[in-house]
Structure 1
Amino acid sequence: MPLIRRTIRRARTERPAPPPAAAQVPCVTRTVSVLVVLGLATAGLTSASTASAGSSPTGPTPVTRAGLAPALTEGRGASVRFLEQEAENAVTDGERIGPDRTPYTLPAEASGRSAVRLERGEYVEFTLPKAANAITVRYSIPDAPGGGGIKAPLDITVDGKQRRTITLTSEYSWLYNQYPFSNDPAADLLHPDWWITECSCVPSATTPAPEIKKPFRPMHFYDEQRMRLPKTYQAGDKVRLTVPADSKADWTVIDLLDSELVGAPHVRLKAVNVLAHGADPTGRRDSAPAMDRAIAQARRLDLPVYVPPGTYQVNRHIIVDDVTIEGAGNWWTVFKGKQVALDEPAPDGSRHTGVGFYGRDAADGGSRNVHLSGFAIEGDVRERIDTDQVNGVGGALSDSSITGLHIRHTKVGLWFDGPMDNLRVRDSIVVDQIADALNFHTGVTDSSVTHTFVRNTGDDGLAMWSEKSANARNTFAHNTVQSPVLANGIAIYGGTDTTVSHNLVADPVREGSALHAGSRFGAEPFAGKLEFRNNTTARAGTYELNWKIGLGAIWLYALDRDVDADIRVTGDHYLDSTYNAIMMVSEWSVKDKYAIPAAHFKDIRVDGTGTSVLSARVKGSATFENVDARHVGAVGVNNCGAFNFPATGSEFSLTDRGGNDGGTATGSWLAPWMLPNTITCDDRPPVVTPPPPAPW
């Protein structure tokens, strides 16, 4: 089957000129909390816990959302069927690790920046908050000494009965080296000609074994497993996860448990049943040809395709156009495939193929009227090869919908190449991706993603990238994005009339923010409205390794051109920001060329920053109205402008439209003396850890 072509995302090579050689030698990391754990692949795992086994909580395990009390996230994020409980809040005889936000550590990549480390024979126990018959465990175990992963068991009991064992694996985690990374810890530098951002050395503290000196740093530690329980258990029942005494893993880290009450399988009688065309629900035989036959008949009869419960082996793309495919539910119907090496590269550059549902290429007219619902896609992608088409869903899909899917272990969960129009993605889950969870790429218009849950991506969680052709009138609303290992939670690269609203974004790990809009990666200009509305971010804003500064929970970036849209940020809540709440910046080489002319912030709450409320490192202006802040770690505004420091004041001006209160012990974060453009440039102040966020 021919592969669908797409334009490959350009590597992240946007780098300022390197600092003097002496400044490159030490590896700089800025620890915001307690430096606790280095993820060492073969030399074991060392930690200094902030809570001992003896101080284990008692009573019910609290329910959280992205590590926050649900009251702090009301009305924001995806509506999901499961309830999340953090391991650090559960009963355990293991060791709590974290909190810590230092990249390349296990706590930093954990939800809420803390987890529980178990030795052989140790356990963590959760109390079910509601009736459940299925669970998801997010975990990490060590890599094999030479890379490639290991497998290890984890025992699960409920109230001490009916033990079940799941098999954990590190085959889909533990990446090393430079972008786009390697799963070989002994690999030489992938790009010796690139300036190495972290440092010019390979620090021994992050080397997996004394005899291996080559890997840059280990990252992408976590994976998750889902399991249906033997029956429905009730609220108050206790789910215990125990590492067997004979486990091959020297340690097991448990991050969280999701529990869910899964309903009966969906049944569609008036449909083309794939079993009638030879599909194998046991997964032993290849079901791709049967899927093709069922789709062809469904189109002739104008009926949907129904895929009953089972696991179906599919090792290539299923091409979809003018067809509805319904599974029995993503816990019941699973498409699972192996990554297959091609005999020779395909015309689009792919070297591998794998399980995926693809519309036709936009150049061939694209696909229309495609509706996919109620199934899971499980890929076999273990390293990032940007030329590969190994995404869960791809191609150009107009007048289409994707509902209730669960996608994991693909490169990108859903990657759409336009031009295309009117796609609706909703009520889906995308986890454990090598790159993005979803990307609207090139001329995607009038489309939306809603109530979709994303966790553990290797690049942006949700992205719109207007390369070559502008995206327009698209919306990301009521989604949850947790723990993107690299880059941003939600990222907008150019485009016209874009809305990002009512989302919950937490815990970006490296070189990104929770919310980002950037004129970069060759994107078409921003135009019309760029609106961020009623979003909540938590523990966001990472340390930018090129600039050696902290980013904001929301980050506006002028690199390739001005960010010259009507920027409206209204009703956002920025909680426990690692550095700044708001950052507006340009790159040094274009600081006198590009600007962010006007942004408007209104009805914002800032609860805790490591440094400032606003960091301005660009030409331009912003207005502020009813922006309330508390627990601000440094001066309210870091105003560097374009770093020319003229006698007339900064090249960035601020307007106070009233109601901007709180922030520091000495008065409002937006003091009158800062207006309109007082230079207050100190963008590397000491970081002050704020208290946990609380109701306003």
Structure 2
Amino acid sequence: MTVASVTAAAAALGVLAGGTAVAGTAGKSAAKAVVTRAALDPALTAGRGASVGFAEQEAENAVTDGTVIGPGRDAYTLPAEASGRSAVTLQPGQYVDFTLPAAANAINVRYSIPDAPAGGGRTSPLKVAVDGGAARTMTLTSQYAWLYNQYPFSNDPDADLLHPDYWVTECGCVPQATTPTPVFAKPFRPNHFYDEQRLLLGRTYKAGQTVRLSVPAGAAATTVDLMDSQLVAPPKVDLLAANVLAFGADPTGRRESADAIDKAVAFARRAHLKVYIPPGTYQVNRHIVVDHVTIEGAGNWYTVIKGHQVDLATPAPDNSVHTGVGFYGKDAAAGGSSDVHLSGFAIQGDVRERIDTDQVNGIGGSLSDSTIDGLYIQHTKVGMWFDGPMSNLRITDNVIVDQIADGINFHTGVTHSAIAGNFLRNTGDDALAMWSEKTEDADNTIDHNTVQTPVLANGIAVYGGSDNTVSANLIADPIREGSALQVGSRFGSEAFTGKLSITDNTTVRAGTYELNWKIGLGAIWFYALEKNIDADIQVTGDHFLDSTYNAIMLVSDFPVKDLYSITGVHFKDIQVDGTGTSVLSARAKGGATFENVDARNVGAVGVNNCGSFNFPATGSEFTVTDLGGNDGGGTTGPWLAPWELPNTITCNDRPAVVPPPAPSAW
């Protein structure tokens, strides 16, 4: 970013000399509550994403004497991983003030503090006071943040390359083939900077009152990304259920409660009762296996199931080397579980490293004819990972944050199931995924979810499958090696068959820089790596806002570019508001149709058509079909000009990026 653009951004945020942001006003008395969704005016996302019980406020819109950082989208930087790509850094003695937009008795703070010098994290206090009243202290931690190096990452900032034979673009070499000791900066590729913490305030405060977050003397510099405020309902009570306290569960969290919960589950099944877990923190350090049972808490702010990660004496048959807190259905090979209903509690794990074979997920196994509703899941490897075959699972209104890997993954033969109304932030891999490995996922829906700041991979990814729908989701700020939406033939997935509908979704600030290819990805990208993508794919009614590079990409990896193609993709009734480069980047053979695709603020030529890079005299191997109504464009003219049709080669391998203006009402 240029000095001029940094200055302009600072001015737009009302940053005074010394780094004091005052939200465009001259004094605290004029402060207003600025509520956004994914750092956007909520009007721009109406009808899309999850309906949540909290109001999200960005720190850069609040009153502060700290320093606004960003906006910036370069991976491995604090601004890039912040919601809206901007945040506020507070030194000891500094504060940020949020004005409550509505009555609230609880807050959630998304923040980053430095790692310990040798890795492993540290703690630091943050003071919370309302309208100058007595301050409470939150103890922040970076123990679940700060990963380094190549996949699957390290907690050691001084580690050498995990894979010294891999291509490392930062030093422009294949290390073992050129120099035994490649030169690269340490810590190498730091990422996953942020964490969040919730706090019940002890009473209800009114709209207009001010919540001050301040860093006391001697504490670590603290970057505040945002604050959520919420009016949490009183705890739910169920006097007719099997109460886990009656079976010896400890609500103080000092003693292990797994055995007591198991006993309550067994009794409830015999007596045809629900299991109730009242307010408290319950220590659980292994899986609770569930089948034909309903387990409900008092609400996820009150009932917390929390556990340590435990080393296994010997690896499990699935090669897990740890276990930890989680609610698991039986394996599909053992018949799976069914008629399981989980609601109203939190699951907080203790996962600080990524080991893909470990079963340390919040929810796992196989669950058919079941529901999961109103959970809060944090610090597990994956929030929910399901291995089918299984069917008829409905996952609704959950909050999943701060994961080392995925948020929710339907893996292998999940059918007739839905993921709806969930909120996910700061996942370490695909936030929501359908992965048809070995057996296809079919007739599933991912609908009205909000995904923010997935650090690695995609907001929503579909890998093969049949007759699935991705609709009315809001996806913002993907960071690296993925984007907002992906349709991919990769990871050993079955082919796409039937129909795939991608309808009425909104993406914002999507499209990351692909480190290995050294190109920018589209907000939505189709990737034919292992098979043709040739099903009926309908992309309809989607809005692509402020795309860092292109809005739409269709690509095949260079070694297989002449083997696989992408066909049968139809774009209709699309709005593209702002692209750093093109509306469409075609880097594969095949073709797509376009109808009523309206674009504005396009940074480069509308269609960047490279085909499969053979450049035959007959034109590109990728055909663009104009079905009419494709309007608008940018400084180079209409985005879909007659001269580009049907397969004019307009290939610019790495076009210059022109940052678009902020999106606005169409």
TM range (shorter): over 0.9
Contact residue 661 and residue 669 of structure 1 kept, 8 A: yes
Q: Which residue of 327, 335, 343 corresponds with 2:313?
A: 343
Q: After superposition, what is the alpha-carbon deviation per residue over 1:374-416, rounded to whole angstroms, capped at 9, x for unaligned?
A: 0000000001011111000000000000000000000000000
Contact residue 188 and residue 215 of structure 1 kept, 8 A: no
Give matches, 1:164-179, under 5 Å: 164-179=136-151
The answer to whether 1:402 aligns with 2:400 is no
Q: Which residue of 185, 210, 225 corresponds with 1:238?
A: 210
1:443–1:197 CA distance, 2 compared to 1 (3 A): farther
For 2:265, what is the secondary structure of its paired residue? helix
CA distance in 2, matches of 1:187, 1:55: 37
Give matches, 1:41-120, under 5 Å: 51-52=15-16, 53-57=19-23, 58=25, 59-120=31-92
RMSD of the alignment, in Å?
1.8
Report the alpha carbon displacement of residue 665 of structure 1 after superposing the two structures with TM. Answer: 3.5
Q: Specify the alignment match of 1:206 in structure 2.
A: none
Report the alpha carbon displacement of residue 680 of structure 1 after superposing the two structures with TM. Answer: 0.3
For 1:295, what is the secondary structure of its paired residue? helix
Give matches, 1:326-405, under 5 Å: 326-405=296-375
Report the alpha carbon displacement of residue 369 of structure 1 after superposing the two structures with TM. Answer: 0.4
Q: Specify the alignment match of 1:122 in structure 2.
A: 94
Contact residue 377 and residue 392 of structure 1 kept, 8 A: yes
CA distance in 2, matches of 1:342, 1:178: 26
Q: Which residue of 608, 617, 637 corresponds with 1:667?
A: 637
CA distance in 2, matches of 1:340, 1:31: 48
CA distance in 2, matches of 1:33, 1:343: 58
1:524–1:127 CA distance, 2 compared to 1 (3 A): same
CA distance in 1, matches of 2:278, 2:166: 50
For 2:281, what is the secondary structure of its paired residue? strand
CA distance in 1, matches of 2:298, 2:238: 8
Report the alpha carbon displacement of residue 141 of structure 1 after superposing the two structures with TM. Answer: 0.3
CA distance in 2, matches of 1:581, 1:498: 22
Q: Specify the alignment match of 1:288 in structure 2.
A: 258
The answer to whether 1:678 aligns with 2:648 is yes
Amino acid at match of 2:507: T
CA distance in 2, matches of 1:429, 1:55: 30
Report the alpha carbon displacement of residue 217 of structure 1 after superposing the two structures with TM. Answer: 1.6
1:502–1:199 CA distance, 2 compared to 1 (3 A): farther
Report the alpha carbon displacement of residue 519 of structure 1 after superposing the two structures with TM. Answer: 0.1
TM-score, normalised to structure 1, is 0.91
Amino acid at match of 1:140: S
Contact residue 63 and residue 98 of structure 2 kept, 8 A: yes
Contact residue 20 and residue 67 of structure 2 kept, 8 A: no
5+ residue gaps, structure 2: 8-12, 26-30, 175-182
For 1:160, what is the secondary structure of its paired residue? coil
Report the alpha carbon displacement of residue 33 of structure 1 after superposing the two structures with TM. Answer: 10
For 1:580, what is the secondary structure of its paired residue? coil
CA distance in 1, matches of 2:6, 2:390: 46
The answer to which of 371-380 and 261-270 deviates more is 261-270
Contact residue 20 and residue 66 of structure 2 kept, 8 A: no
CA distance in 1, matches of 2:156, 2:92: 27
For 1:138, what is the secondary structure of its paired residue? strand
For 2:134, what is the secondary structure of its paired residue? strand
CA distance in 2, matches of 1:448, 1:196: 39
| Equivalent residue pairs, number | 646
1:555–1:614 CA distance, 2 compared to 1 (3 A): same
CA distance in 2, matches of 1:414, 1:50: 41
Q: Specify the alignment match of 2:390 in structure 1.
A: 420
CA distance in 1, matches of 2:594, 2:4: 30
Q: After superposition, what is the alpha-carbon deviation per residue over 1:170-202, rounded to whole angstroms, capped at 9, x for unaligned?
A: 000000010000111122221222222444479
CA distance in 1, matches of 2:15, 2:654: 30
Contact residue 554 and residue 586 of structure 2 kept, 8 A: yes
Q: After superposition, what is the alpha-carbon deviation per residue over 1:55-84, rounded to whole angstroms, capped at 9, x for unaligned?
A: 522421310000100000000000100000
CA distance in 2, matches of 1:348, 1:161: 53
1:213–1:108 CA distance, 2 compared to 1 (3 A): closer
Q: Which residue of 450, 453, 456 corresponds with 1:480?
A: 450
The answer to which of 598-607 and 193-202 deviates more is 193-202
The answer to which of 659-668 and 577-586 deviates more is 659-668
Q: Specify the alignment match of 2:493 in structure 1.
A: 523
CA distance in 2, matches of 1:447, 1:399: 9
Report the alpha carbon displacement of residue 213 of structure 1 after superposing the two structures with TM. Answer: 5.6
Contact residue 337 and residue 379 of structure 1 kept, 8 A: yes
Q: After superposition, what is the alpha-carbon deviation per residue over 1:435-493, rounded to whole angstroms, capped at 9, x for unaligned?
A: 00010000100111000000001111101111111111111000000000111000011
Give matches, 1:142-161, under 5 Å: 142-161=114-133
The answer to whether 1:495 aligns with 2:465 is yes
Amino acid at match of 1:71: A
Amino acid at match of 2:15: A
CA distance in 2, matches of 1:288, 1:489: 33
1:212–1:584 CA distance, 2 compared to 1 (3 A): closer
Contact residue 21 and residue 62 of structure 2 kept, 8 A: no
Q: After superposition, what is the alpha-carbon deviation per residue over 1:74-132, rounded to whole angstroms, capped at 9, x for unaligned?
A: 00000100000000000000000000000000000000000001100000000000000
CA distance in 1, matches of 2:184, 2:638: 52
Q: Specify the alignment match of 1:133 in structure 2.
A: 105
Q: Specify the alignment match of 2:234 in structure 1.
A: 264
Q: Specify the alignment match of 1:24 in structure 2.
A: none
1:588–1:549 CA distance, 2 compared to 1 (3 A): same
Q: Specify the alignment match of 2:28 in structure 1.
A: none
For 1:165, what is the secondary structure of its paired residue? strand
Report the alpha carbon displacement of residue 546 of structure 1 after superposing the two structures with TM. Answer: 1.3
Report the alpha carbon displacement of residue 597 of structure 1 after superposing the two structures with TM. Answer: 1.4
Contact residue 569 and residue 600 of structure 1 kept, 8 A: yes
Q: After superposition, what is the alpha-carbon deviation per residue over 1:114-153, rounded to whole angstroms, capped at 9, x for unaligned?
A: 0001100000000000000000000000000000001000
TM-score, normalised to structure 2, is 0.95
Q: Specify the alignment match of 2:413 in structure 1.
A: 443
The answer to whether 1:183 aligns with 2:148 is no
CA distance in 2, matches of 1:55, 1:420: 52
CA distance in 2, matches of 1:70, 1:575: 13
CA distance in 2, matches of 1:65, 1:160: 28
CA distance in 1, matches of 2:166, 2:588: 26
Contact residue 109 and residue 224 of structure 2 kept, 8 A: yes
1:448–1:197 CA distance, 2 compared to 1 (3 A): farther
Q: Which residue of 111, 135, 151 corresponds with 1:163?
A: 135
For 1:264, what is the secondary structure of its paired residue? coil
Q: Specify the alignment match of 2:10 in structure 1.
A: none
The answer to whether 1:433 aligns with 2:403 is yes
Report the alpha carbon displacement of residue 530 of structure 1 after superposing the two structures with TM. Answer: 1.1
1:122–1:269 CA distance, 2 compared to 1 (3 A): same
1:272–1:34 CA distance, 2 compared to 1 (3 A): farther
CA distance in 1, matches of 2:235, 2:4: 45
Give matches, 1:472-621, under 5 Å: 472-621=442-591
Q: Which residue of 190, 194, 202 corresponds with 2:166?
A: 194
For 2:266, what is the secondary structure of its paired residue? helix
Contact residue 33 and residue 100 of structure 1 kept, 8 A: no
CA distance in 2, matches of 1:283, 1:34: 51
CA distance in 2, matches of 1:50, 1:115: 14
Contact residue 582 and residue 613 of structure 1 kept, 8 A: yes
Q: Specify the alignment match of 2:605 in structure 1.
A: 635
Contact residue 189 and residue 215 of structure 1 kept, 8 A: no
Percent of aligned pairs sharing the same letter: 72
Q: After superposition, what is the alpha-carbon deviation per residue over 1:242-298, rounded to whole angstroms, capped at 9, x for unaligned?
A: 000121x1x110000000000011111211110000001111110000000000000
